[in-house]
Amino acid sequence: MGELTEYERLISIRIMQEDAESIYSLLKTERDSIFAMEIIPYYALFVQSCQEYMGENLLPESIAKDLKDIRNHIKTYADGFGKSQRRVSTVDDAQDRDFKEQLRFEFLKKINVHLNLGTYWTEERQVIGNTQQLADFLSVESMFDSKIKEKNHQMGYHIGSFVASFRDGLADSLSYPVIERKRQLISINYYCDINTNKKNNLLSKGQKKEINLFYLHLLCSMNFVKYILRPLFQDGNIWTFRVEYIVSYYTLRALERLKNYTENNKDITIETKEIHDILKQGELLFTTKLRNCMMHYNLENAGVISFENIDKPFYGIIENCFDGKSYQEYLIELHGLSDMIIDFLNNQFDFSDVKLERL
């Protein structure tokens, strides 16, 4: 039993090292400003999870608090839907005031000419991010605060320093992992700005604004992983697998909370059959054993490592959690669930008339 525990400890460290190497490869190559903002929650997840495993905080207190808050944003909409609806509305109102205040003339503020939501798109017309979601998880009180740039610079500096120090610290005893990339220098080039209080081509006309924005935030998170992050790495990369798993899981929980809310309240009406099908599929993939070791790095006594599967991809964790199913088989099923969720969310909108502009 002692020998297995030692293997569990070593594999925990090796997985952290592999994730650090994947993140380090992005820090070296990716310079797109939208990508840099969108990826921060997943960098924060890594940094905080490593610190929890080590049992110590290696960052300045203010940076550590910010990163913890940003990491927690990943599961924000998995709270009760009433709370999520209020959060979406609060951010929308704050952005509305923020941009309205930039208008020079008082009469312009009364006629609603400002734009309070910016969305970011791929060339293939997939929406992968938006300014209200960014303002929320980065805790931006005002987009026009002169201190934001310096704050974000400091955060980026400390994340980069942590990742570099972590990988170098392990290099004396463990060789650097080989991380295979498919693409580099990704560029997010298209945007669409709207006023959420007026008729527009982005939000569905038959649904409440808060539901539209709730769906949009979920879709942006899912699409960012599928269309931006995953294509940067060879399929099967463990860190992108972890990110896709966590984002899909919390998106599924958010949809579950919405379904439960609509079944007990009359103010929102949605079709829940597709959500039911998504939840049913998710039950097969998100077992407690696997979920615990995807959210945290400590594998000791987690019951997910065995000697007979230790040489398989992802150290045989999938085989041990799913009665022999391979990592590649599981990955295909997770991609399939992600696609189900994305299809459902896309169907809540009609993006055909959205006019994109080049950044």
Residue 13, pLDDT above cutoff 90 = yes
What is the model's pLDDT at position 111? 61
Q: Mean pLDDT of all residues in the chain?
A: 91
Residue 1, pLDDT above cutoff 60 = no
The average pLDDT across 170-190 equals: 92
The four Cα atoms 148, 151, 154, 159 give a dihedral, to 10 degrees, of -90
Least confident of 39-48, 100-109, 174-183, 248-257: 100-109
Amino acid sitting at position 106: E
| pLDDT, tens digit, 9 for 90 and up, residues 222-268 | 999 999 999 999 999 999 999 999 999 999 999 999 999 999 888 88
Selection from 50, 81, 220 nearest residue 137 by Cα: 220
What is the model's pLDDT at position 109? 56
Give the list of residues 6+ apart from residue 186 with CB closer than 8 angstroms, or none: 30, 32, 35, 228, 231, 232
| pLDDT, tens digit, 9 for 90 and up, residues 270-320 | 888 999 999 999 999 998 899 999 999 999 999 999 999 999 999 999 999
What is the model's pLDDT at position 340? 97
pLDDT above 90 covers a percentage of the chain that reads 72
Phi/psi of residue 187, nearest 5 degrees: -135, 125
Contact 58, 180 (CB under 8 A): no
What is the model's pLDDT at position 145? 65
Residue 146, pLDDT above cutoff 90 = no
SS3 per-residue string spanning the chain? CHHHHHHHHHHHHHHHHHHHHHHHHHHHHCCCHHHHHHCHHHHHHHHHHHHHHHCCCCCCHHHHHHHHHHHHHCCHHHCCHHHHHHHHHHHHHHHHHHHHCCCCCHHHHCCCCCCCEEEEECCCCCEEEEHHHHHHHCCCCCCCCCCHHHHHHHHHHHHHHHHHHHHHHHCCCCCCCCCCECCCCCCCCEEEEECCCCCCCCCCCCCCHHHHHHHHHHHHHHHHHHHHHHHHECCCCHHHHHHHHHHHHHHHHHHHHHHHHHHHCCCCCCCCHHHHHHHHHHHHHCCHHHHHHHHCCCCCCCCCCCHHHCCCHHHHHHHHHCCCCCHHHHHHHHHHHHHHHHHHHHCCCCCCCCCCEEC
Could you tell me the pTM of the whole model? 0.94
Confidence of residue 119 (pLDDT cuts 50, 70, 90): very high
Residue 181, pLDDT above cutoff 70 = yes
Phi/psi of residue 299, nearest 5 degrees: -100, 0
Residue 139, pLDDT above cutoff 60 = yes
On the 0-12 / 13-18 / 19+ scale of CB atoms within 10 A, 271 is: exposed
The average pLDDT across 184-194 equals: 95
How far CA 200 is from CA of 195, 284, 351, in Å, comes to 7, 39, 11
Higher pLDDT, 114 or 350: 350
Q: What is the CA radius of gyration of the chain?
A: 21
Confidence of residue 96 (pLDDT cuts 50, 70, 90): confident
| pLDDT, tens digit, 9 for 90 and up, residues 61-75 | 888 888 888 988 888
Confidence of residue 127 (pLDDT cuts 50, 70, 90): very high
What is the model's pLDDT at position 155? 87
The average pLDDT across 106-125 equals: 78
CA distance 233 to 249: 21
The pair of structure tokens assigned to 31 is 């310079």
Contact 133, 220 (CB under 8 A): yes
CA distance 287 to 303: 13
CA distance 295 to 129: 23
